[in-house]
Amino acid sequence: MRLDKYVAQAMQITRSQARTMIARGGITVDGTVCKKADTALKGSEQVCAGETLLGKEEFVYIMLNKPQGVVSASTDKRDVTVVDLLQDAFPRRNLFPAGRLDKTSTGFVLLTDDGAFAHDILAPRKHVPKTYFVTIDTPVTQQMVTAFEQGVTLADGQKMEPATLIPSSTDPYSATVVLRQGVYHQIKRMFGVLDAGVNALHRSAIGGLVLDESLAPGEWRKITEAERQQIIAAQAKG
CB 102 to ligand URA: min, Å: 4
- 3-class secondary structure, 86: helix
Tell me whether residue 93 or residue 185 sits nearer to ligand URA (CB atom). Answer: 185
Tell me whether residue 101 or residue 209 sits nearer to ligand URA (CB atom). Answer: 101
Q: Which residues bind ligand URA (CB under 6 A)?
A: 101-102, 105, 185-188, 201
CB 56 to ligand URA: min, Å: 34
Q: Rounded CA gap, 44 and 80, in Å?
A: 42
Q: What radius of gyration, in Å, describes the C-alpha atoms of the chain?
A: 22
Tell me whether residue 201 or residue 209 sits nearer to ligand URA (CB atom). Answer: 201
CB 105 to ligand URA: min, Å: 4
The full DSSP string for the chain is -BHHHHHHHHHT--HHHHHHHHHTT-EEETTEE---TTPBP-S-S-EEETTEEP---S--EEEEEEPTT-BSSS--SSS-BTTGGGTTSSTT---EESS---TT-EEEEEEES-HHHHHHHH-GGG---EEEEEEESS---HHHHHHHHH-PBPTTSPBPPP-EEEE-SS-TTEEEEEESS--TTHHHHHHHHTT--EEEEEEEEETTEEPPTT--TT-EEEPPHHHHHHHHHHHHH-
Distance of CA 10 to the CA centre of its chain: 21
CB 139 to ligand URA: min, Å: 19
Tell me whether residue 48 or residue 200 sits nearer to ligand URA (CB atom). Answer: 200
Q: Which of 76, 102, 120, 212 is catalytic?
A: 102
Among 191, 221, 217, CA closest to 106: 217
Ordered alpha helix ranges (H), 12-58: 15-23
CB 179 to ligand URA: min, Å: 7
Tell me whether residue 65 or residue 105 sits nearer to ligand URA (CB atom). Answer: 105
| 102 part of the active site | yes
Active-site positions read 102
